[in-house]
Structure 1
Amino acid sequence: MKIKTRFAPSPTGYLHVGGARTALYSWLFTRHAGGEFVLRIEDTDLERSTQDAIDAIMDGMNWLNLDWDEGPYFQTKRFDRYNAVIDEMLEQGTAYKCYCSKERLEALRETQMENGEKPRYDGHCRDSQCSHAADEPHVVRFRNPQEGSVIFDDKIRGPIEFSNQELDDLIIRRTDGAPTYNFCVVVDDWDMEITHVIRGEDHINNTPRQINILKALGAPVPEYAHVSMILGDDGKKLSKRHGAVGVMQYRDDGYLPQALLNYLVRLGWSHGDQEIFSIDEMKALFTLEAINKSASAFNTEKLQWLNHHYINHMPAEEVAVYLAWHIEQQGIETRNGPELKDIVKLLGERCKTLKEMAESCHYFYQDFSEFDADAAKKHLRPVARQPLEAVRAKLAAITDWTPGNVHDAIQGTADELGVGMGKVGMPLRVAVTGVGQSPGMDVTVQAIGQARSLKRIDQALAYIAEREAQA
């Protein structure tokens, strides 16, 4: 049997963390089995579905590199197919027209709740012999079995059983002629030959209804796997108050897609004590049976740790591709400075995110007219003038501009003046970067370049001279 899964988000909001994890699990299960992965946009909620949300879903899937083999399919473009199936069901008697008014249904619900009963449709029109005009408003309901049970073997949770007596006759077409979500899903899974449905646990109650409709249609019933929800670190359902936002916000905040995928796969699935997984390892090792039944808690610190790991262990050239977007967001012109792969190597240990890296690398590319006030006050004092003048002379004399030769110039200055390296290095750092923290001065000065470094030292000496004049 060829494995075929689908990811079927509703475009009523951004692709969030929970949806991304569900997509990842479906994708990995398919790739592990050499099957096919379908992307389906379930946009039957016409009032809440938006093009912006569709774009956000597509952007998120593309950024995460979760490629699909078929689709994207849109349910709103398949209404003719759904309605044709409903018309066949009406002819066969597996569905019927319901003419109950809104007022009757509300009164029924109120009575049932007052009696402590579960609100459900009472089947009033199920076998009604009343005649109705062709244009009389009505919905179409599925004739659900009234006896027996629906039992399915959830691939994560084991056997789950629902009594058919607990399931009422589901509306499958509204008064306005639009087919409903639960029905569209069934027809889609049937037409697209979906073998495994992997989705959130909030869909468990939909499953028996969908299975009954599939059986009524004579369609094969897929395997089901329902993934537990993701909680915030306070034990409550993940929401915006936990910082849970669209997946692309993680891109904006400087996370690598590889790090987010690695984090999400471990948010409910495990393989021994292993923490770091390449995409190829995920595809080779992933099984539904290894998914945990209990909810998982999102931990931003763990995600940051993984991101830092990937920044420093992925090839710098690959990281640089993602860094380029952040550099562009900062408006930094990089033509007159080091290659971005070198920035990754220089700042990787110091930065947990690419956004932080982009914010920290300005001085490699852009000149500045002001120094960080605290750093300048501490290190660009009159006592720093002599070390800066001496190291400038040595840097200016270098003919082969390498980190080693830059280091020798700094060390040589300290030796000549009989001071520690910090007495030379710290004023030099503030002079050439404008701030008090940076990577090692040999690699930093080398990356900034000889002419630019000398120009900035002159700027720092002028700043010191001005301080001396004001003293």
Structure 2
Amino acid sequence: MSQQVRVRFAPSPTGALHIGGVRTALYNYLLAKKLGGKMLLRIEDTDQNRFVQGAEEYIQESLQWLGITIDEGVGVGGPHAPYRQSERSAIYQQYAQQLIDAGKAYYAFDTTDELDAMRQTFESQGSAFQYNAVTRTRLKNSLTLSAEDVQAKIAAGDPYVIRLKVPAKEEIRFKDLIRDWVHVHSSTIDDKVLMKSDGLPTYHLANVVDDHLMEISHVIRGEEWLPSAPLHVLLYRAFGWENTMPQFAHLPLLLKPEGNGKLSKRDAELGGFPVFPLEWISPEGVKAIGFREEGYLKEALINFLAFLGWNPGTEQEIFSMDELIEAFSLERINKAGAKFDINKAKWYNEQYLRQRSDENLAQTYLADFDTDKAVKIVHLFKERVTFPQQITQEAKALFTAPTSYDEAVVASKWNDDAKKGIAAFKDALPAIENFVANDIKHALVAELEKLGIKMGKVMQALRVAVTGVGAGPDLMLSMEIMGKDEVITRLTTALEKLQ
């Protein structure tokens, strides 16, 4: 096996890519880049019953949007093509036959009805049925049938599967880079199916063969695959590949926001938050929201995901992709599951939104507005919003005159001093030549000083007169953006309506 670090992200195209899968891809990518290695994308589509049209393209678009670049594999190519498992059937059949020839696997001709009958017999005796070293001697397979019978059945087209011949008494131990040593006895593992009756491999065979042939150095995957790892170690042994076996790292689960149980699509639906990177519309037309469409910036999502199970060992929370690559190590991944706190994701989004320049946000999200005015709008709202589209919404509100006024503020603040001060301010506005925030404020201060009215007595009432609400961003800059004529009109209307 190559000494170069080679990792793979190997999703199944069964629908939208869950955010847990994105985190797996991210950790693989960070390790590869940190150690000067390569990141592969392999599509594990051997289960054709679960294949969903468009899912593969969705996976590729998600990774591309997030900046997780692929060095080799689907969409890129490379020396180990093809990278879709459905196109590698002949390879798996060759290696399955190799195991049979070596006495490490066998043909099994048991029908579903026969296996169900055996299962019921065991259950009636108070135990669970396993197809293993004990029961295989009582079943219909190439270990109990003569070679002639086996060949005759195959020639006749009788359906069969190929099963791994799991050793009866063998200790399986391997070191997980996150969980340390794992010990399992072979008696707890059944003779798993390696090749199905349709001629396609199961995940176990295809996964091991592909990882070996593609020279994968590290298998970084979710905790749910940890129970399968001993079986995979047995397969590496059966092939004689144990010395070049990849190192395993099984990532902690992503937990529900409250912490009890694995995060699911249902949790997202109930909580009103996304668990998919991009919006997904199923073949049945059911729409699921995506982080991108909800307004999350890719940098924020990457930073948020990195911290779901990993920490740098410092107080630093904001990391660029390059900084994550520099800081990342498998040793700092936690064993315990990580709560999916959507409020933390929102916090990250706010931080990255504020890092963007006013000009960049204006160009990206307010292209319909005059450039100078758009930059001022961004400056006004950037510190007050979580998602960039909220700036657009706030901008539209800025140019819509109020049709009602905050009743609580009117009741407490709309008094004679407020009315006198606002009326005088309105009358002074036409004389302002350069209608900018500083000059507007200077005019307000000057008029209130003439009347002997303190600023605090008028400000909230003035805000209500201009915007209809009692709180908001910088009022002087807001009026600058609205323009002189619009502000005069709004003040005139408020003074008439609130008499």
Q: TM-score range by the shorter chain?
A: 0.7 to 0.9
Q: Which residue of 1 aligns with 2:8?
A: 6
CA contact (8 A) 2:13 2:43 kept: yes
CA distance in 1, matches of 2:405, 2:52: 46
Instruction: Give the residue type in structure 2 aligned to 1:252.
Output: E
List aligned pairs for 1:68-107, cutoff 5 A. Answer: 68-72=70-74, 73-107=83-117
List aligned pairs for 1:123-202, cutoff 5 A. Answer: 123=136, 124=139, 125-127=141-143, 128-129=145-146, 130-131=149-150, 132-133=152-153, 134=155, 135-202=157-224
Task: Identify if the C-alpha distance between structure 1 residues 400 and 462 changes in structure 2 by more than 3 Å, giving closer, same or farther.
Answer: closer
CA contact (8 A) 1:382 1:467 kept: no
Shift of residue 458 of structure 1? 0.9
Q: Which residue of 2 aligns with 1:290?
A: 332
Q: Which residue of 1 aligns with 2:267?
A: 241
Q: Which residue of 2 aligns with 1:458?
A: 489
5+ residue gaps, structure 1: 328-332
Q: Which residue of 2 aligns with 1:400?
A: 434
CA contact (8 A) 1:186 1:213 kept: yes
For the aligned residues, what is the CA RMSD?
A: 3.0
| 1:261 alignment partner, one of 295, 302, 309 | 302
**What SS does the aligned partner of 1:178 have?**
coil
CA contact (8 A) 2:401 2:490 kept: no
Task: Identify if the C-alpha distance between structure 1 residues 278 and 77 changes in structure 2 by more than 3 Å, giving closer, same or farther.
Answer: same
**What SS does the aligned partner of 1:348 have?**
helix
Task: Identify if the C-alpha distance between structure 1 residues 31 and 374 changes in structure 2 by more than 3 Å, giving closer, same or farther.
Answer: farther
Measured against aligned partners, the alpha-carbon deviations of 1:63-114 in whole angstroms (never above 9, x if no partner) come to 3222221233432233343334334444454433211111121122233344
CA distance in 1, matches of 2:430, 2:477: 16
5+ residue gaps, structure 2: 75-82, 279-289
Shift of residue 264 of structure 1? 2.1
Instruction: Give the residue type in structure 1 aligned to 2:443.
Output: A
List aligned pairs for 1:312-391, cutoff 5 A. Answer: 312-317=354-359, 324=365, 334-336=368-370, 338=372, 342-364=376-398, 366-368=399-401, 370-371=403-404, 374=407, 386-391=420-425
Task: Identify if the C-alpha distance between structure 1 residues 254 and 375 changes in structure 2 by more than 3 Å, giving closer, same or farther.
Answer: farther
Shift of residue 26 of structure 1? 1.2
Measured against aligned partners, the alpha-carbon deviations of 1:281-322 in whole angstroms (never above 9, x if no partner) come to 21111111111111222223333333333333454455667x
Shift of residue 465 of structure 1? 2.6
Shift of residue 158 of structure 1? 0.5
Task: Identify if the C-alpha distance between structure 1 residues 436 and 288 changes in structure 2 by more than 3 Å, giving closer, same or farther.
Answer: same
CA distance in 1, matches of 2:46, 2:415: 68
Task: Identify if the C-alpha distance between structure 1 residues 287 and 164 changes in structure 2 by more than 3 Å, giving closer, same or farther.
Answer: same
Shift of residue 424 of structure 1? 4.8
CA distance in 1, matches of 2:455, 2:302: 43
Instruction: Give the residue type in structure 2 aligned to 1:272.
Output: G
CA distance in 2, matches of 1:372, 1:56: 47
Q: Which residue of 2 aligns with 1:223?
A: 247
Q: Which residue of 2 aligns with 1:65?
A: 67
Instruction: Give the residue type in structure 2 aligned to 1:228.
Output: P
Q: Which residue of 1 aligns with 2:443?
A: 409
CA distance in 1, matches of 2:429, 2:93: 79
Q: Which residue of 1 aligns with 2:17?
A: 15
CA distance in 2, matches of 1:71, 1:341: 42
**What SS does the aligned partner of 2:42 have?**
strand
CA contact (8 A) 1:42 1:75 kept: yes
CA distance in 2, matches of 1:56, 1:374: 49
Measured against aligned partners, the alpha-carbon deviations of 1:412-468 in whole angstroms (never above 9, x if no partner) come to 23223332335554454345445433211222222x253xx4224314413543555
CA contact (8 A) 1:428 1:457 kept: no
**What SS does the aligned partner of 2:39 have?**
strand
Instruction: Give the residue type in structure 1 aligned to 2:20.
Output: G
CA distance in 2, matches of 1:80, 1:319: 52
More off after superposition, 337-346 vs 116-125: 337-346
More off after superposition, 423-432 vs 61-70: 423-432
Task: Identify if the C-alpha distance between structure 1 residues 392 and 11 changes in structure 2 by more than 3 Å, giving closer, same or farther.
Answer: farther
CA distance in 2, matches of 1:212, 1:342: 64
* Identity %, equivalent residues: 33
Instruction: Give the residue type in structure 2 aligned to 1:224.
Output: F
Shift of residue 195 of structure 1? 0.7
CA distance in 2, matches of 1:120, 1:429: 74
CA contact (8 A) 1:431 1:457 kept: no
TM score, norm. by length of structure 2: 0.81
Shift of residue 218 of structure 1? 3.9
Q: Which residue of 1 aligns with 2:283?
A: none
More off after superposition, 166-175 vs 297-306: 297-306
Shift of residue 406 of structure 1? 2.7
CA distance in 2, matches of 1:140, 1:340: 66
Shift of residue 3 of structure 1? 0.7
TM score, norm. by length of structure 1: 0.85
CA distance in 2, matches of 1:340, 1:29: 41
CA distance in 2, matches of 1:45, 1:25: 26
Measured against aligned partners, the alpha-carbon deviations of 1:162-196 in whole angstroms (never above 9, x if no partner) come to 22222222212221222222222222212322110
CA contact (8 A) 2:9 2:25 kept: yes
CA distance in 2, matches of 1:40, 1:290: 26
**What SS does the aligned partner of 2:68 have?**
coil
